[in-house]
Each structure stands twice: as structure tokens, then as C-alpha cells.
A and B are shown apart, each in its own frame.
Chain A
């Protein structure tokens, strides 16, 4: 990619709360090329949504973009633009699609009015022209009888329809970049596939770039060309999607892949990564994943790993890059004791024993 559309450098978004500074996004660097689809993957709390909001500077106080963060988009650094200038970018050049299609739409206006509003914010269009554009857009996103649907309120539409409306709002100004934050999480599986396909089809048609934020590696596998894995407010691995699925390097990525259900595999339980993402006010020293990592050794508790180059376009923030032989010595992660996985295992065992006891009695 000669000249990326969006380049983010050392993005840091901190929240200043009573319990200390939450470093939700802590030095994230990546780029999105023109027409490219990039996936940003991570658990809840890994900082991926805050990253998305930070790109458009939508983080509200007490959250703050730290000085030194650069968000270069179409040759301008969004981190230094005034609010007024930013408004000409938001919705027009970069648009967002949100997770929950119900709450992303204002319940008191018809969907047509809401799409038309975006047009009227950015273009000097008459009310009538904006409305026409809204109806047209509803047609583009595959809503049947768009002229009638435009006059309906969000609650009158199904979840999949609402998400189509949200996408129509995002695309009505033909933006260069669409940031989709978990666009399919709230939808039924069949509708998920439709929405993903719609996004891809619209990308083919309009040529915009997509930054797809998700925790669902299945979604990633189907839609994106390059994946960024986030953990603890940092990028821990970046690779082309095929590379990532074939030979993930970072133990966290490995864990995410192992946690995916697969067809043809008869496992009693799904594998999980023990523990949860630590609170962003207290990232562990050294590698932020070390307390949940099955390979971690002393070095990981003290030395913060840089992004090691693994292959072409493949980087990983793991000391295993320098000491690959340690991958053969997995052990129980440091915090196995009170993890959700442990609790679940105990509960499952308890249930089995109860059932056994009952059947023995009868």
C-alpha cells in the first residue's frame, strides 16, 4: 500500500478517574490502506472500542487523547484539528457503524429523517433532496420498499433492518473510511452473515476502507485482509488474516483461536483463556498478558516486550520471538486459581456429581 488512508501513531487515550489513570489505549500504531479492510480484534476491555472512538476524537471527558498521538487521515492530523474542522470529517469522510442498532438510532425520529439529517449537516441540500437521498440510500442497503420504510420509526423495524439503516446513515456521504464497531454482535447469526455481506458488497461498490472492530474471529476470517490483535491497550500481534489463522505467534492470539468453536471437533467444553483482562488502571508490569500466559517466564514479568518482526507484515509483542524454544514448555498460567474458567470447571464438575448422585439414588 503506497500511501495509507489512515495512519495512527502512538495513539494513547487515557481516562482520568478517581481510582487512577486508566490507560485504555496505550501507544497504538497501525494504518489502513485505501480500499482495505482491517480487523481489530480483542476481548472486552482490550481497548479496541476506545481506539475506534479515538480516531474521530469522540472520547468524552474524563477520557483524553494524550499529546503525541497522531491520527493522520488524508494528509491531516485529526489529533490537532479543531472541533469545527473535525465535524467536516465525521460522517463525511470517516463514518461509524455502531454495535447496537436500536440505541444507535434516535427513537423519536423516522429513519428517513435521521439519514436525511446527515445529508443536511454535510451538504447544502434542500429538505426534499436530502429525503430523496435517504430513500435512495435505504434502497442501496437492501431495504425493500424504501420510500415507505423511510417514514417508519426505529422500533418498527427488525434488528437487521435497523443495522441496515445505521449502515445507510454511515455511507450516505460516501466516506473514505467506515469504522464498524461490532456491527453484527447484537444480531441473529443469519442476519450477521447478511450484514457482513452487505458491508463487503458496499465496499466493492464504493471502494471505501473498513476498520472492523470485533471480538469474533469468525467474522474476521470472512471479511478482512489484515488483522490487528489488541490486548491491554496495545497491539500485540498484526498479520495478514491467513498468516494469523495458520501460524499465530502471540500466545494471546493462540488462546483466542483455541477458544473458537470448530466444526468436526468433538470437545466437551470450549477452551478458554484463563482470567480476564486486567483493569486498565493497573496493567501488569512487563508483558501485560504474562499472568494469563501459559508460556510466561521471569523475563515476561519484568521486561515489556516490543513488537518483534516475525515475518513479512507479521509482528508480535512476545519474547517468544527471541526464545522460541520456550513454546515447548507450556505450564499452568500464573492465575489459574480464581479464574472464570476454573469456576466454570468446578461448577460443571459439581453438576456432573449431582447428576450422578441422583441417578445412583433412583
Chain B
């Protein structure tokens, strides 16, 4: 067998010559960065644009969203130079309503998703880390929650208010949307817990909460971010659907869903009222979905296997 004193010197030199160039290219960047495609940047740009529109709706909109400009003269006007997207049956400027609607739709979706991602991550972390009987109880509880159709639950709860305040809408959508996130997180936690660095951290004296915060959470966040991004699109659709059912953001508040609902009654006569919010919803949801998929491709640890395995 080789004696280390014999081997070490040439081996060290050899290793030194081998190691330095071997690590140099890896030092440039994790391969995740290279995977970001054109679709990623396009969807990101679109989402950024939508956010800017929502933020600066007040400055951008030519009219107030709820102003009835001329009840007789401007009722249900098709798109024209003065009103690029036309007016609705109450003679309100559709472009202005769309711009303000972006504010409501996007903020409801983003805040609700933020809420559900937070609650879901916390729940999944606790269940996965504590394990045992507590985990079993928490998961059965989750199964029970998942057995209730979400829209029915939303309808039942939101029927308590009329009209529904936005905070309640965000809370209710957020608090009914975390079930799947927490399953995802729990599964990730269970897999992360098998990694040696968790045992190593315990072996080096880290406390339970310290391990969860520093070692488990950062390693389960990627799938949460991806699912949250995809979730934004879903919630925009959900909010639109609720508006359509008459229990989302309701008149006169403009959200894309409620404008669509206003226009859908008379689609043949005044097609523009429903068409433009419909298009906005499609484009936004598509942007978030493309962004989410691209993000998943970039962040998915399985696709980084070559990078991480050893």
C-alpha cells in the first residue's frame, strides 16, 4: 500500500497543477445563469411593464376610472382616437379602467400569492422538519382542506361580504391557496433533510431553528419561487372568475375580471368592453407562466445535477 509520506510531495504538486485550472471555469458562474432564455427575458420585461403600468396608472390614465364622462353621448362607444379602447355602457373610458384594473388585478394576485407562499412554506417546513405524529396530523388536515373545491370555498366565504373589500379578497384567496405549496415544501424538506450537511450542521452544534432557517429554508425556496410565479397567473384567472361570478372586486372598482364581467352581457353589441380585459388577462397569465417555466428550468436542482453532484 502507498505510504503517504512517499506519495505526498509529487501528489501535491500534481494535484495543485490539476486543481487550479479545473476550478477556474467553474468559478465563472453556476450553470443556472446560462439557461436563462429569450422567453425568460421577454416575459420578465412584459411583467415589469405591467407592474409599471399598475404603479403609474394615475399618471397614465387619461380619465378617472369611475368617471362617467357623458352618460348619453359617450355610452358604449367603440374604440376611437379619443378613447383608444372605447367606453363602456356607463360612458367610462375603458383604457383608464384597464390601467387601474391592472393595479387591482396584479396587486390582488401578487399579494395573495405572497401570502399563500409564506403560509404554505411555514406549514410545510414545520411538518417536514418536526416529522412523526405531528407531521401526520398536519398532512391529514391538509388532505381535508384539499378535498374542498377552492372556488366553492371562496364563494362561501366571500358571500359574507357585499361588496367584498379588497383586503378580504386578498386574504381569502391567499389563505385558500397554500395547501399545495406546503405539500411541495414538505416533500422538499424531507429530501433536504437526507443531505449530509443537515447532519453535519447538527454535528457542529447548530440548533433546530437555526438548521431550519439557515440550511433547510434556503434549499427549499427554489420550487416555492417557481410555484408562486406560476400561481400569480392562476390567481389572476381566479380573481377574474370570481368577478365574473359577481363576488370578486365589484362595481365600481375596476379589475380586469370585473370589466370583463361588465362587458360579457352584451358581447355582440359592445365586444370591446370584454375583449380588451380578456386579452390583458391572457397576456399577463401567459407572461407569468412563461416566466415561471423559464425560472424552473434555471433553478431546478435536478437540472443542475452535473454542477452539484460532485
Interface set of A (CB-CB < 8 Å, partner B): 53, 56, 58, 61, 87-92, 95-96, 98-100, 102-109, 117-118, 121-122, 144, 152-153, 155-161, 166, 169-170, 186, 189-191, 193-194, 196-197, 200, 218, 221-222, 260, 262-263
B204 CB contact (under 8 Å) in A91, A155, A158, A194: A91
* CB proximity to A under 8 Å, residues B176-222: 195-197, 199-207, 210, 214-215, 218-219
B307 at the interface (CB under 8 A from A): yes
B contacts with A: majority SS: helix
CA distance A53 to B196 in the complex (A): 12
- Neighbouring A residues of B7 by C-beta, 8 Å: 190, 193
B73 at the interface (CB under 8 A from A): no
Q: Which 8 A-B pairs have the closest CB atoms?
A: A91-B204, A91-B205, A96-B203, A90-B205, A103-B196, A218-B1, A190-B11, A108-B218
Contacting pair B19 A161 (CB below 8 A) = yes
With A117-B206, A190-B7, A194-B8 as contacts: A58 and B199 at CB distance below 8 Å: yes
With A121-B204, A193-B2 as contacts: A99 and B23 at CB distance below 8 Å: no
26 contacts between A and B (CB under 8 A): A58-B202, A58-B203, A88-B205, A89-B205, A90-B202, A90-B204, A96-B200, A106-B197, A106-B219, A109-B214, A109-B218, A117-B206, A118-B204, A121-B204, A159-B310, A166-B200, A169-B204, A170-B204, A193-B2, A193-B4, A193-B8, A193-B11, A194-B15, A197-B8, A200-B4, A262-B1
- Neighbouring A residues of B200 by C-beta, 8 Å: 96, 98, 104-105, 166, 169
The number of chain B residues with a CB under 8 A from chain A is 42
Please encode chain B, from 3 to 14, with 1 for each CB lying within 8 Å of some chain A CB and 0 for all others.
111011001101
B152 at the interface (CB under 8 A from A): no
Q: In this complex, what residue of A is CB-closest to B310?
A: A102
CB of A137 to closest CB in B, whole Å: 13
- Neighbouring A residues of B308 by C-beta, 8 Å: 102, 107, 155
Interface centre among B14, B16, B204 (most CB of A within 10 A): B204
- Neighbouring A residues of B16 by C-beta, 8 Å: 144
Contacting pair A155 B4 (CB below 8 A) = no
B309 at the interface (CB under 8 A from A): yes
- Neighbouring B residues of A99 by C-beta, 8 Å: 196
- Neighbouring B residues of A190 by C-beta, 8 Å: 7, 11, 14-15
Contacting pair A56 B219 (CB below 8 A) = no
B156 at the interface (CB under 8 A from A): no
B149 at the interface (CB under 8 A from A): no
With A90-B205, A153-B30, A186-B310 as contacts: A104 and B15 at CB distance below 8 Å: no
With A107-B308, A121-B205, A161-B23 as contacts: A194 and B11 at CB distance below 8 Å: yes
- Neighbouring A residues of B204 by C-beta, 8 Å: 90-91, 95-96, 118, 121, 169-170
- Neighbouring A residues of B23 by C-beta, 8 Å: 156-158, 161
- Neighbouring B residues of A95 by C-beta, 8 Å: 203-204
With A156-B26, A222-B1, A222-B4 as contacts: A103 and B195 at CB distance below 8 Å: yes
- Neighbouring B residues of A222 by C-beta, 8 Å: 1, 3-4
- Neighbouring A residues of B19 by C-beta, 8 Å: 158, 160-161
